[in-house]
Amino acid sequence: MSLHPVCLLFIAIILFSGRIAAQPSIYPVPKEFKRAVKNQTRTTHGMPGVAYWQNSTNYKIEAEVFPENPSLKGKLQADYFNNSPDTLKRLVFNLYQDIFRKGNSRDWDLGKEDLHEGTVIHQIKIDGKVINWNDRSRVVRTGTKLIVRELAILPGSKVSIFIDWELNLPQHRTVRMGKYSDSILFVAYWYPQIAVYDDIDGWDMISYGGSVEFYNDFNNYEVDLTVPARFNVWATGLLQNPEDVYPQHIVSRYKEAMKSDSVVNIITIEDFKAFATKKLKKSKSWKYVAEQVPDFSFGAAIGMLWDGVSFETDTNEVKRVFIDAVYPPESYHWDKVAEFGRASIRYMSESMPAIPFPYPKMTNFCNGRSGGGMETPMMANNSAPEDEPNSFGLTFHEIAHNYFPFSMGTNEKKYAWMDEGWASLWPHTMVDSLYPEYKYLERTIITFEAFSANEMDVPPMIPNNLMAGNYATLRHASYVKPALTYYFLEQALGRNVYLAALHEFMFRWVGKHPLPLDFFHTIEQVADTDLSWYFKPWLYDFCYPDLSVKKITNDRQVIIENIGGLPLPVYMEVVFSDGSMMIVEVPLIEWSKNKDYVTALIPGNKAIRSVKIGNSQIPDIDKKNNEILILD
């Protein structure tokens, strides 16, 4: 990962200041983290420990898709590398589509149409030995987990796994994937995936109920997908055989788009009209390869337009990202989505987080629905909102996830705020610049105010799987509040320090599994200050936005009380008796001195008529206590 120069400056400052020494934490420290520090896999200053490790898998998958049913059949060969110091006595697999298995618990009612008997496993072999599926003492299926016991995978060893399986795809309740129409499928959460075994929890045993999302290792994939010949396929990673699946003029446009700074129409309406008249083979196979990614997904469709463009993200290393948009004709604004994607990747690569986009390509796939979107590595399964600002923001948001959690492997099952917060915040600058009437940031603040201090307003640090099933709580704690946490953190630190701290965190933990404490300790180390006064109320405590003007003293000091407990900047309008006005601002950092109140001096000697705090950029749930009028 390339680093911004200011980040390198702060790394040097850290190394020469001697601040690497361990400091006692002022945050609640779970016993799992204490054990990791003792085992030297983590540290108390935010860096991975000298003994840090994580496991990985090389997947080779062959699958055939049957859109009519809809279903797929697959064979998987996986080499799993145990880099841990532990002898693993079991293997745990995620069978995500067992969310539709009859009798399983789910975070909401999915109806009956898509329910089935679960992922059908025909055979499992481990190191060539067939596992007896009927031996319930050895093979356990619980929730969306499949557990194979009585193993002994030694530290530093590799185990080879073969699985032959088949799977029904949902078509009525498409939870992040499924058959959206007769001609559009998006397939994710689809193969038996080896669960994460880490230094904190051991095996990840959190089942998939529909709410919580990603926590995966970084793996390599070789995937061969067979589909009916009239379907085209777009997937995670890079297509290895374009000449086998496209006519030459499409291949030429595709290769042109991969190096073009302007959008190329790779497949047009005329092209798929021509496809419809041709005699084709029964099926085609599409080969994709992806390296060091946490998951693999694909879209398959007939009659989709395909636009492509590219962007040079790092001139020093001459890296280009291929950005494409795949969509049904007449989808709202999708003729602009390839350019939306390019603009988003350019902004993130150059401005925030100012680190080159981590993957070689990004496909935006339209499922034809009117709302919602879902990220997977190098792929987004998005809808077609009617309003253009929403379309741009959705495109940006889902692409942003390729930084968090796809290159920064945060545990989204527990701490979704560590990725959804960034993805919800970063679009605001561009959306508010290109579409000022949309007011992206103000909408976020209004949404935050509406839910704050409600009974179900819980701190983001409560693990997400414990909020599962309560959409409003999960949305507030994982998206809205964290977005504003990051937004005001930049104001507290100043942009240079903020960006340097973020870069250092990403540099330390790219391709790894950072925890909240790793984030807090890194930011504090680079900023060279205790930030518990900020992080605790925003992420740990039951605080809410409510500042109040308490009083004005005889010596012109305005006392602002923090009733809700959230540290926020103070914007104050002072009106004098002669009708003139003055703006007085109190930096957010002042709350580090006193969490209960701050003071602001009104300069001059003009008689004060009124003092009012707040504006549309600062949340506050009770604006009635924001003003004092001084009567003559």
CATH number at residue 321: 3.30.2010.30
Same-domain check for residues 172 and 115: yes
Contact criterion met (CB below 8 Å) for 402 and 359: yes
Tell me, what's the pLDDT at 17?
A: 38
Going from the C-alpha of 336 to that of each of 21, 340, 344, the distances in angstroms are: 51, 6, 12
Q: What are the two backbone dihedrals, phi and then psi, of residue 269, each rounded to the nearest 5 degrees?
A: -60, -40
Contact criterion met (CB below 8 Å) for 96 and 208: yes
Same-domain check for residues 491 and 620: no
Longest Cα–Cα distance of the chain, Å, equals 91
Residue 425's nearest CA partner among 370, 356, 491 is 491
99-135: pLDDT as tens digits: 999 999 999 999 999 999 999 999 999 999 999 988 9
Beta bridge pairs of residue 116:
101
Contact criterion met (CB below 8 Å) for 196 and 217: yes
Same-domain check for residues 70 and 17: no
Contact criterion met (CB below 8 Å) for 175 and 210: yes
Beta bridge pairs of residue 163:
76, 124
Same-domain check for residues 357 and 270: yes
Q: Is residue 224 one of the residues assigned to a domain? A: no
DSSP output for 42-71? B-TTSSBPTT----EEEEEEEEEEETTTTE
Tell me, what's the pLDDT at 6?
A: 41
Laid out side by side, the sheet with 373-376 consists of: 264-267, 305-314, 319-327, 361-366, 379-382, 373-376
Tell me how crowded residue 549 is: count the other CB atoms within 10 A of its CB: 21
Q: Please classify residue 163 by burial: count the beta carbons closer than 10 Å to its beta carbon, then call 0-12 exposed, 13-18 middle and 19+ buried.
A: buried
Same-domain check for residues 552 and 509: no
Q: Is residue 337 one of the residues assigned to a domain? A: yes
Residue 457's nearest CA partner among 475, 441, 444, 484 is 475
Give the DSSP letter of residue 539.
I
Beta bridge pairs of residue 239:
288
> CA–CA separation, 483 vs 441, rounded Å?
10
Give the DSSP letter of residue 478.
I
What count of Cα atoms within 13 Å lies in the side-chain half-sphere of residue 579? 0
- Cβ neighbors of 8 (< 8 A, separation 6 or more) are none
Tell me, what's the pLDDT at 469?
A: 85
Judge if the upstream peptide bond of residue 30 is cis by omega within 30 degrees of 0.
no
Q: What are the two backbone dihedrals, phi and then psi, of residue 488, each rounded to the nearest 5 degrees?
A: -80, -20
Of 493, 522, 540, the residue at which a domain comes to its end is: 540
Of 485, 512, 540, the residue at which a domain comes to its end is: 540
Compute CA 600 distance to the chain's CA centroid, rounded to the nearest angstrom: 39
Same-domain check for residues 140 and 174: yes
What's the chain's average pLDDT? 94
> CA–CA separation, 86 vs 202, rounded Å?
10
| Tokens found for residue 345 | 């990747």
Q: Is residue 350 one of the residues assigned to a domain? A: yes
> CA–CA separation, 529 vs 568, rounded Å?
18
| Tokens found for residue 236 | 């995670």
Contact criterion met (CB below 8 Å) for 118 and 101: yes
Laid out side by side, the sheet with 581-586 consists of: 581-586, 570-576, 608-613, 627-629
| pTM listed for this prediction | 0.95
Burial 33-72 (b: 16+ CB within 10 A, else e): beebbeeebbbbbbbbbeebbbbbbbbebbbbbebeebbb
Q: Is residue 416 one of the residues assigned to a domain? A: no
Angle between helices 427-434 and 417-425 (to 10 degrees): 20
Tell me, what's the pLDDT at 12?
A: 42
Tell me, what's the pLDDT at 280?
A: 74
DSSP SS3 for 444: helix
Same-domain check for residues 181 and 263: no
Q: Is residue 576 one of the residues assigned to a domain? A: yes
Q: Is residue 421 one of the residues assigned to a domain? A: no
Kindly give the parts of the chain with pLDDT less than 50: 2-22
Q: How many domains does the chain have?
A: 4
Given the structure tokens 């605001």, which residue do they identify? Answer: 428
| Cα-Cα end-to-end distance for the chain | 63
Residue 619's identity, in one-letter code, is P
Same-domain check for residues 579 and 449: no
- Cβ neighbors of 177 (< 8 A, separation 6 or more) are 169, 170, 186, 187, 188, 189, 190, 297, 374, 381
DSSP output for 245-265? HS-HHHHHHHHHHTT-SS-EE
Tell me, what's the pLDDT at 24?
A: 52
Q: What are the two backbone dihedrals, phi and then psi, of residue 24, each rounded to the nearest 5 degrees?
A: -65, 140
Given the structure tokens 């506050």, which residue do they identify? Answer: 620
Same-domain check for residues 396 and 380: yes
> CA–CA separation, 256 vs 308, rounded Å?
9
Tell me, what's the pLDDT at 114?
A: 97
Q: Is residue 301 one of the residues assigned to a domain? A: no
Of 509, 540, 571, the residue at which a domain comes to its end is: 540
Same-domain check for residues 258 and 347: yes
**How long, in residues, is the chain?**
632
Same-domain check for residues 37 and 66: no
Q: Can you list the alpha helix ranges (DSSP code H) found in 182-241? A: none
Same-domain check for residues 523 and 554: no
Compute CA 305 distance to the chain's CA centroid, rounded to the nearest angstrom: 27
Residue range(s) defining the domain that contains residue 358: 238-285+311-407
| Tokens found for residue 128 | 């060539």
Q: Is residue 319 one of the residues assigned to a domain? A: yes
> CA–CA separation, 230 vs 236, rounded Å?
20
